[in-house]
Amino acid sequence: MARPHKQGLSYFPHDTDAANDGKIHSLVAMFGTEGYAFYFILLENIFRTENGRINCGKPCEKAGWAKAIGITVEKFNSILEIALEVGCFDKVIFENEKVLTSNGVQKRIESILNLRSKDRKRKEVLSKDNTKRKRKVKNGKPLENSWKILENPRKTPVFHTENDMFVVFYDKYPKKEGKKDAQKAWNKLNPDEILVKIIMQALETAKQTDKWQRDNGQYIPLPASWLRGERWEDKHTIDLPQPDQPDDGNWFLDSYGIKKMKGT
């Protein structure tokens, strides 16, 4: 029996200073901790769905969410009105479809679903290749633990191994010290495809910070220390070119809003 496809996400990033976000700050300023709980309890439920949306139009649906948060329906409606006004959720989609979601949620859901789809296709290819096998025979008898591919017109694709992914990480890491120790930290971490992507994105962000670029990289931690400390979860502030200061044309913002140099 095939394993059922996973629905939604098991976790999503939650910055330690999330309360200082302008949208969330407005909710907290007006409704206190109830505004904070309102936003993140709904966000948790949104990310658990496959399409990153929850229904919130019918009175029974609002009553259910109000109970889950621990507030009255009247308070729920008051907070919802402000949350839509400040942009916590997409107001146009809510008015047209009576569902709660946002552009940021949709982008993250789409990214994760694409990764899962690629992983399923990889496993399907490997599974098909493994079914086209037969035992090798010598003197009319099958040999123990000896299998060969019966027919496989396509060359079996080569996928990244754990060591391959570490090589890519170490090649991108600016401080080339303690490679053996870094390899141990990587192996102990044993990141899956999704975490590898998060690590590499965080590394590119860290490389652009003033701390890492100052004094020829003197303050860049060793790669092993960076991995063991899970420093990919650090929050960085990057100075982008000001509107009145023309860009030199060598930088661009990727789909995650990260400033990168062209050609990297």
Record the pTM: 0.43
pLDDT attached to residue 16 = 52
pLDDT attached to residue 183 = 93
pLDDT attached to residue 74 = 96
pLDDT attached to residue 21 = 77
pLDDT tens string 200-228: 999 999 998 888 988 888 899 999 999 99
pLDDT attached to residue 139 = 67
Angle at 161 between CA 160 and CA 165, to 5 degrees: 70
Give 10-residue mean pLDDT values along the chain (264 residues): 53 57 86 92 88 92 94 96 93 95 85 75 65 57 53 44 78 93 92 90 90 89 94 72 52 56 59
Dihedral angle at the C-alpha atoms of 246, 248, 250, 255, nearest 10 degrees? 0
> What does the alpha-carbon distance between residue 61 and residue 63 come to, in Å, rounded to a whole number?
5
pLDDT tens string 142-174: 655 554 444 444 444 444 455 678 899 999 999
pLDDT attached to residue 89 = 94
Counting Cα atoms < 13 Å in the Cβ hemisphere of 28 gives 12
Report in angstroms the alpha-carbon separations of 249 from 97, 242, 259, 261, 263.
41, 13, 12, 9, 12
pLDDT attached to residue 153 = 42
> What does the alpha-carbon distance between residue 181 and residue 185 come to, in Å, rounded to a whole number?
6
